[in-house]
Structures are given as C-alpha cells and as structure tokens.
Chains A and B, each alone.
Chain A
Amino acid sequence: MEMINIKIDNKNVQVPKGTSILDAAKSIGIKIPTLCYMNLHDLNTEHKPTGCRICVVEVAGRKNLVPACATECTSGMEIKNQTMRVLNARKTVMELILSDHPAECLICPKNGTCDLQSMAQEMGIRHYHYKGEQSTYIKDRSIAIKRDMDKCIGCKRCLTMCNDVQTVGALSSINRGFMSVVAPAFQMDLSESVCTYCGQCVAVCPTAALTEIDHTSNVIRMLADPTKTVVVQTAPAVRAALGEEFGYEAGTLVTGKMVAALKDLGFDYVFDTDFAADLTIMEEGTELLDRLSRHLKGDETVKLPILTSCCPAWVSFFEHHFPDMKDIPSTARSPQQMFGSIAKTYYAEKIGIKREDMIVVSIMPCLAKKYERDRDEFKTDGNPDVDYVLSTRELAKLIKQASINFEELPNMDFDKPMGESSGAGVIFGTTGGVIEAAVRTAYEIFTGQSLHKVDFEQLRGMDWVREAIVDFNGTPIKIGIAHGLGNARKLLNEIREGKSQYDAIEIMACPGGCIGGGGQPLHHGDTNILKARQKALYSEDKNKTIRKSHENPYIINLYKEFLGKPMSRKAHELLHTQYFDKSNPVDIVKD
C-alpha cells in the first residue's frame, strides 16, 4: 500500500493513500467533530454527504474550508484543525443548525441521547446568535414510526439506511432550500409508502426527527386495570442490549434483572418469546423438511428455497417488492405472533380467563413488530393476539419511570410454561441464529441421528451475505443468510433469475439481525456494540442445558396437550399465516 506523508496541526503523519482527513486525524488522536457523517464499519456502509459542514478543516492552498470526512489526503497536504477560522466556522454552522431546530430539549424524547445536543454541548454553544424563521412540516404518525421533521437537521443518514442499505426506497429528499425535507414521495404519510417499519432510519437519526410510536402509557394503564391479566413476552435480542440503557457495557446479559423488573412493574406473567421461537422451529423446521423431502423425491410443485418469515419488516418488504415470490417464504408466523396466539388460546384457557381479559405485551428490539401486531390476520374478532409492543428503549424508559433501581434487582427466572426455552430460541436474535436453530432440529429429524456438535460456526458472523453447506448425513443442504434488506434483495433477485440454488435462506431486515433492530438502544454507528450483543446471545445459548428446540419439554407438552403435531390442522390455524401482494400501493394517476 502506498503511504503518503501529511501534516495535521503541525504533526507529521503517515497514512495510506486514499485515507480521509478524518481518519488520518483519528490515527494520531485528533478527533474532528462530525454530525452527519456515519460509518458502520463492519457493514461496509459509509455515509458522508458532506452536508452538515461541521467537520471542516483548513487545507493549505485551498480557497475554502474542506469537509474532513470526505476529503482524501494527498501527499504533502498541510491540514489545520484548530485555527480561529476553523473553530469559528464550525461554531457558526452549529448555531445555524440550532437556529432551525426547536429548542425543546427538556421535553424531547431524545433528551440525553441526541447527537445534536451532545455536539452543542461539546462545542460550548451558549447563545443563539442567529434567530429566525424555523422550517415546519406536517407531523406524521404511522403505526410504528413518528416523523417530526421540524427536528430534522438534514444529515440524511435515514436516506442511506432506507435507500442504500435497505433498498426500501420509502424516503427521499423533497422540496428545495430552506424547506427541503426528507419524506416519502409526494410528501405522503409513511403509512401510504412502501415503508417496512424496519426502523433503521430511527436507529441512526441523530435527533428526534424519527422516533418510535410510544406505547408505554397504554401499558401502564393496562397494568393498573384490575380486570386485566397482563402477560409479557421478551424477545431474545432485548436481554443483550437493555443493560446499555442502564450504563452496563454493551453485550452484558441482563436476563434475570429484566425479568425481575417486569415483575416489579406489575406484569402478571413474565414469559419469553424464546419459547415461541422454539415453537417456530417446530413448525418452520417441519415445513422445511416436508418441502425438502418432497423435492428430493422429485416433486416439481415444491418450491425451494424456503425462506424464514420471523421478521415482519422482511415480510412487508417481499409483499411490496417481490409479490410474485410470496409463496416461497415459510407460512410459519413469527415467534411474537405465535406467542400471542398460544397465550390467548391455550394459556388463557389454562388459567381460566376470557380472551378479552388477557392483555399480551411484547418487549421487542424492533419497530416493525408494532406494525405486525396490527395486521388483520393476527386478530380474532378485532381482538389482536398481541395488544402492545414496546421497544427495548421504551422498556428502559418504563423501568426508569417506575423508579426501579435496575442495578439492585435480583436475577429472576421466567414464569412457566411459556418462559422455558432452548439455546436455539435465544440465538434467534442474531443474524444466522434462526437458520442455525432450524438446522439443529431439522438435522436430527431428517437423519434420525443426534448431533454431536450443535454449534454451526459456518453460519455465524457479520458478513452481509453468507452461504454454507450443511451436511445432513450425506445430503448437502445449501443455506443462504442475508441481513439488511438490500442484501435480501440481491439474494431474491438471484433466485428470481435462477442464478442461485439454495435449500433454505434466513433473512433479517436489520443489520446484524434483531440485535441491531430499530427498537434497540442506539448504537450511534458503533458496530462493535452489535458484535458484543451477538456474542452475548451465543454465550447464553452455550450456557443453556437444552440447546435444541424440539427438546424443550414445554414445547413437547404443548403439542401433546393442545396442538397435536407440527403442521396439524390446529397448528395451521393458530401458527401459520398467508401473505399478500402489496405492490404498487399508490395510485399516482389520481386527479
């Protein structure tokens, strides 16, 4: 690699050719402030629209200041980061951005986690020198995401996530100049767009321009209602991230404290979505084996690969963009919906209460789950299987509001029967986890042999698209894994064009899988946090006595007592679903 010599603030630095000024400065411990810039290192996503102009530096010989994030170092370059000119420019631009931002930090949902707020703090802004008109736009509340564009600072990170990473294309810049704003086409509401509610825009938004729809007060009301039995389920990825909201290091598992907190909050039964994940494996795994063995027997009507269907954003994505392939994904419902369905039938019956008197609350790392719970297929006479969905962030808020001292909480266990799960259920929260869980069960059923080693390292990792061949005792099973909807699109296009042959594919909409979900504590672009969460889930799996879904005694019992066997008529009715063609939802030729 060609190395070049440059000078930053009179210090000599040697960097590889092509290095940005920002990275060069970082290499010698100079932190140039950035605002719109975002680098998701392990996900090959660098966002540098050079729009905020906060990272400007002085380069000898250049007439104007240049953005450090996007300017490459050239040999002999002399860079100044600390001159009056630079500092004044940054501060003035920061004041400009603040002058077009509502000054309501104290009551803002992002108070304390806002990048703009911390940057203003870092720069020591104490006055609004430039006051004037503020740009305002219509507020947009969808089922899962709230858009308050008055707080948008135009960093356009959401555009990179929505268009480049996810290739959903729900958002774009519209209008011009002072009134330019990020919005769905024709400034329609998000609900009328192709948005999948994956929440990646929310996850990277530096301010409160994009936030989740808050359901905490609804849940508080239900907890206070003596006529309701409130059941809660917690998704696997939540336990690996919730601690971050209470100052724990990323990757700290707080499962026991989380259960204790939920009990303190007054939930009647604290269950685990991992239980439902095991149930999903039973159904989805059986479906995979059924399709696979029919295919191997030469049945031409069988379509392979089978695609996972746990992720509601992914489901929404293929309904919008690949409706012609809607019969390929597994018909199995997601663990959240399986849980709701079983809770309001089997469990309600078991504890002798009516469906209407049971409230099912989910704690999810995800915003699309808020949308999934609202789908008509998951309602009985208008009563939804899952009543409320709280994101990991909302749960943390709820715990703080209830004055619970999280650190002091004891470790407690989930309630039985729907709180018991295998290690397979736990790893549902990371990319590669669902398919690994499915392989553990499918292998044993298909081959009739017990697995010696349950860890399938070849399925793990953080690469956008991975493929692996798992040997089912002489039958090679080709598996594909993609996280991030953009990569899902690539895989689907290959399948559609007949370029790739897979037997099974796992897709998760969010980078990293559910651990990087739109409802998780904000990672502020630090992908090391995602890796730490992933590691935590694999370690919880490792520490479980039961590692395979079909060995979960409570699952075995559920089939015995209630469902019969996987893919039975009752299982179909309660645990499976169908998909719809949602292409072209917008009729543009309206007059």
Chain B
Amino acid sequence: MNTHKKRNILICQGSTCHQVAKENLIDAFKSKLKEYQLDEDVKVVQSVCFNKCTVGPNIIIHPDNVEYSTVTSDDIDEIIMLHLLNDKIVERLVYNQVYENSGSDKKQYRIALRNCGFIDPEVIVDYIEKNGYAALGKCLTEYTPQQVIDEIKASGLRGRGGGGFSTGLKWEITSKSEADQKYVVCNADEGDPGAFMDRSVLEGDPHSVIEAMAICGYAIGATKGIVYIRAEYPLAIKRLQIALKQAKEYGLLGRDILGTGFEFDISIKYGAGAFVCGEETALIHSMEGLRGEPTLKPPFPSVSGYLGKPTNVNNVETFANIPAIINRGSKWFASIGTEKSKGTKVFALAGKVNNVGLVEVPMGTTLREVIYDIGGGIKDGKKFKAVQTGGPSGGCLTEKHLDLPIDFDTLMAAGSMMGSGGMIIMDEDDCMVSMARFYLEFTVEESCGKCAPCRIGNKRLHEMLIKICDDKGSEEDLMLLKNLSTVVKDTSLCGLGQTSPNPILSTMENFYDEYLAHVKDHKCPAGQCKSFQRYYISEQNCIGCMVCARNCPVNAISGEKKEVHIINQETCIKCGVCMEKCKFDAIYLN
C-alpha cells in the first residue's frame, strides 16, 4: 500500500475564482484523487480568497504552500503526477510575475482570517486543533463577565462594520442594561458592492464567530444569539448551519456549556439583501419581521433592541477577532495597529490593481503599501488616480493621501471612512464624476425611503450627476450639488443617507477641476463620459464613399458622393458605427 505525504488542496471559492472556473474543480480534484488512490491522504478543501482574483481559479497545496493559478481540470493530472507523487512544482502554473517580489505576505497579518483556508470549515476538530474554543473555555472558567469586557476594552478593538465604536464599551453598556432576556446579534448582512470579508470568514472559519458570540453572551448576560445573514450567501449559511450543529454536539452551545452551567444558543435569521439592513436598527426591525427601516437612535440597541430587549450587535469580522484576543491577550492585540485603531483590518481590494482580492493588514499600514506592495501596483502601468475606501458611502482619496496610515480616524479626517473595508483603486482612465454617479446609483437603489433627504435627495443628486456626465450640466448645478450633498448628509435619518453624498463631496474636494471641465469646457478629462465624445470625419482621408452615411442609424452624416462627409454633432448618438464601417480610417474621435 502506498503511503503518501498528507496534504490539503485548498481550492479558492471566492466569487471571482468560482465564476471564472468553467467546471467544478472540487469535484474534479476529488474524483482524480480517487483514481490515483490518493483520496485518503490528500484532502480537498473549499477555501476563501487568496487575493489573486485576476489569475483565478487559484489553488494552494498545503503544507508545501505552493500556489497554482489559472487551474483547469486539464491540469489536475499534471499536478498529481508531478507535485503530489513526485514532489515537483508545476512551474507553468505558478503565477509569479508581479506577485513574486511584492512582499504581499510580509505586509499582511492575519487575525480575522487566521484560519481561513487553513482548516476545513466543515470539520469542528480542525478548528479545535487550531486552539478553537479555548478562548470560550478560558472565559467561562477563568474570567468573570466583567473581566471579559475589560479584556476586550483593553484590546482597543473597534467595530469592523463601519462605525468603529469600541466593542468592549458596547458590550459593557449592554451588560449593564437590566432585562430578563438579552440578545447577541451577529451582523452578517454584508452589502457593500464587491465586499466579501464577512462571507469569507463565515465560509472559511464559522466556528470563530460562534465562539465569539458565546463569549459575548457570557460577558453581557445573554443566552440567545442570532446571526442575521443575507440569504444570498448560501455557502456561508450552509457552513454556519453545519458548524452550529457540530458545536451543539460537542456541548459548546446549548445548556451547561463545558459543564460551567452557562447556557447559550444561536439561531439564524435571513436577510433579503437590503443594504440598509446592515444598519443595526433596520437590521433589528427586519429580524422582528417588520420592514427594514431604521429608527432614531437613541435608544440604542444595547438598551432597547430586538423585541425591545438589550441587544449587542457586532459584525462578523469584529467577532472573528474575539477568540484571538482572549487567547493571546489584549496586550498582544493592542500592540498591533495605531494609537486609536488596534489590530488588523480586512479589505476587499478591487479595481485597477494587479492583485485584487481579500487582504488583511495591521491598522496603520499605508494606502501605498496596500496598493503597491500587496496589490502589486496599478494595472497596465497606468497612473494611480484615486482610491475609494469605505464602500459606496465612503470617500475618494488621492495621491496626497497615499502615505496616510490606514485607521478609523485618519480616513475620517481625510474625508473618507473605513466602512466595512471596501477598497477600490482607480487609474487615470476613471472619471471621478462618473464614479460618484455610480455610487449614487447604488444608494438611490438601496435607500429604504423613510426619510425625505435620503429618499428624494439622493435621487436628485444622482440625476444631477447624470446631467453633468451627459454634458447638460452648468456651473449652477455644481453649487446645487454641493449644497444638496451637505444637506442630505446633515439631515438624513440613518448612516446610509448620512454618508451617501461622501463620494460626491470627496471628489468635489479633490477633483473639482474635473467637475468644472464637464460643465464649463464640456470635456471629460478621463475620456470616460460618452456624451463628451465627438466623432469627426477627416478631410484628408474621406473619399465620399457614403458607407458611413448609409450605416448611421440616426442619419447624422451628410455629404454628396465623392465629397467629404460631415457629422451633425447635434444628431449624433455616439454609437461608433461610422468609425467601425469606414475602410479609410477617415473617422476619428476627439
């Protein structure tokens, strides 16, 4: 009987890799391994993002720590033959151009994602082997609830969902609210476009969240926990369900946990994917079966939340940090990061960088390090223009902000925010007005409609941006845009409306010239807004063949046969058909 080295093949199931994969790599690997009778020794594990989305599908072979990219089922035989059976690396599948010297691993520091990709999330023993549930045991046997709170407070952990409120303080307030029942709620309603930090944690390491919720329950005096998760996260839900079942079987949830008499149980509630339900009061209303609309704070959920009871709401990533803090101590955690922002933050890096995907870096890492060292710089050697942090309600930061250490307060001071960790990189080809328009489109779509400034104000902001991008704007519009943005921010009921104008305000602050160019010079400097494009016919090249005129769908081209043709700019819809059809390169764009 052959005995082989025990190995794990981690297959990225992040959204990008999952989508570019033409086949189910997991099944393909499993059946091949069976053929080679390796299925006993080599385990296939569904994993989370490796931050190399551009070259997916990606896999990692553990413990060798070899990463293969653009893997298809045709490569499996080679990987097995060379790597698994003969310990040789399949060089042609190793992606190492930009990445090789990027120092990506050096800059990253994994706390929240510590287990993701390294354990089988569907096997509780894997988690326990990684010191899992030790923190819960420690809390229940060595700490009083107040000591747990003090430990979290001392760690300096702040909410990773966007607000950045001190987690320990939140726990303390909830613990001091008197009630016959309290609740621990895990906010897994991750709604920022392109963000998948929470999903990755739940898919890759669900037990860390369960353990943290139980610790929180112990600290604040709650026996019930609820995970509010988007129904669009089927894999995360499945993993969570499996993990909950296993935790119960192991006596880590339920009555008399670890024989200490502590009782705690967790149930799941599904969200329907409304962005505003990530706001904690709206989330609670949604859990209660009501319309997902926010209400005025105070009262804060820690005083009156789910079913009117004190409720501690934390986001997934926040919870994922808790067991590590308890295990390694608040001092260790507080030693990472900046003065007021401790620990690490997971970002979903996207846009025009070479390496996109999830990254976890210590607070205080600069934007430059994230973009250039981890992200591998701007794609195609283009020039960096801006980075949008904090998702659709964050702001745009520029070249001058690149050396800012990333933390809650510096981002806020620079006119953006941490948010839940979206980070989108833009290059010289991106129009900032158009970018703001894109984000406003999202917030208009996601406004619940309860308060007038958000319901109507965002709509008007979006309309004004469309007007400007469509070459119909005026300087007066810029004034109105600024006033309205300020008012919407100042008067909206919840965090959604209070931040939705940020993309406008920050781009107006940093790229006012670009706005002016749109309304005054009737130009889009980045060349992205189609309405500013003008098609012209070159007098030199045009032979008057009439092909363009015949093909123009709106009859915008006139001219006699064998004479130079002219495009009527008023009528032209900029479809580009003329340019495509012209055989003499006579049509050009300004």
Contact = CB atoms under 8 A, between A and B. Distances in A.
B456 A71 contact: no
Contact of B491 (A89, A99, A177, A179): A89
B491 A65 contact: yes
Nearest to B443: A177
A154 B452 contact: yes
A173 interface: yes
Contacts of A85: 490
A72 to B, nearest CB: 8
Interface string B446-478: 111111110111111001000000000000000
Contacts of B447: 176-178
Given A154-B452, A176-B449, A180-B455, A89 B463 contact: no
A514 B114 CA distance: 68
B493 A50 contact: yes
A70 B450 CA distance: 15
Interface in A529-579: none
Contacts of B448: 176-177, 180
A51 B274 contact: no
* Most chain A CB atoms below 10 A, which of B445, B448, B460: B460
Contact of B449 (A70, A71, A88, A180): A180
A381 interface: no
A65 B455 CA distance: 17
A49 B453 CA distance: 14
B489 A51 contact: no
B417 to A, nearest CB: 13
Interface stretch (B93-101, B479-487, B575-583): B479-487
Contacts of A133: 459, 463
Interface string A278-307: 000000000000000000000000000000
A175 interface: yes
A87 to B, nearest CB: 11
A91 B69 CA distance: 57
B459 A89 contact: no
B444 A49 contact: no
B442 to A, nearest CB: 11
Contacts of B453: 53, 93, 96
A262 to B, nearest CB: 43
Nearest to B463: A132
B51 interface: no
Interface in B415-463: 444-453, 455-460, 463
A367 B144 CA distance: 63
Given A71-B296, A96-B456, A53 B445 contact: no
Contacts of B295: 50
B291 interface: yes
A395 interface: no
Interface string A26-67: 000000000000000000000001111100100000001101
B344 interface: no
B459 A132 contact: yes
B interface majority secondary structure: helix
Nearest to B459: A178
A576 B498 CA distance: 59
A172 interface: yes
A93 B452 contact: yes
Interface string B317-344: 0000000000000000000000000000
Given A50-B296, A50-B493, A89-B490, A177 B446 contact: yes
A129 interface: yes
B450 A178 contact: no
B487 A177 contact: no
Contacts of B451: 50-53
B301 to A, nearest CB: 17
Contacts of A100: 456, 459
B293 interface: yes
A96 B449 CA distance: 13
Given A132-B463, A177-B447, A53 B493 contact: yes
Nearest to A100: B456
A167 interface: no
Nearest to B450: A51
* Most chain B CB atoms below 10 A, which of A72, A96, A153: A96
Contacts of A179: 449
A457 to B, nearest CB: 39
Interface string B283-312: 000000001010110100000000000000
Given A85-B490, A88-B487, A92-B483, A97 B296 contact: no
Contacts of B13: none
A99 B487 contact: no
A464 B298 CA distance: 29
B492 interface: yes
B412 to A, nearest CB: 11
Contacts of A130: 456, 460, 480, 484
Contacts of B274: 176
A277 B492 CA distance: 52
A53 B492 contact: yes
* Most chain B CB atoms below 10 A, which of A53, A132, A177: A177
Nearest to B456: A96
B190 to A, nearest CB: 19
A99 B489 CA distance: 18
Contacts of B455: 154, 177-178, 180
A177 B452 CA distance: 10
A587 to B, nearest CB: 22
Contact of B452 (A51, A70, A71): A51
20 contacts: A50-B493, A64-B490, A89-B491, A93-B491, A96-B457, A96-B484, A97-B452, A97-B456, A99-B460, A132-B459, A132-B463, A154-B452, A176-B274, A176-B447, A177-B458, A178-B444, A178-B447, A178-B449, A178-B458, A180-B455
Given A179-B449, A180-B449, 11 more contacts: A51-B493, A53-B453, A71-B296, A130-B456, A154-B449, A173-B450, A176-B274, A176-B446, A178-B447, A178-B456, A180-B455
Closest 10 CB pairs of A and B: A180-B449, A177-B447, A96-B456, A132-B463, A92-B487, A53-B491, A130-B460, A178-B459, A177-B449, A51-B451
Interface of A: 49-53, 56, 64-65, 67, 70-72, 85, 88-89, 92-93, 96-97, 99-100, 129-130, 132-133, 153-154, 172-173, 175-180
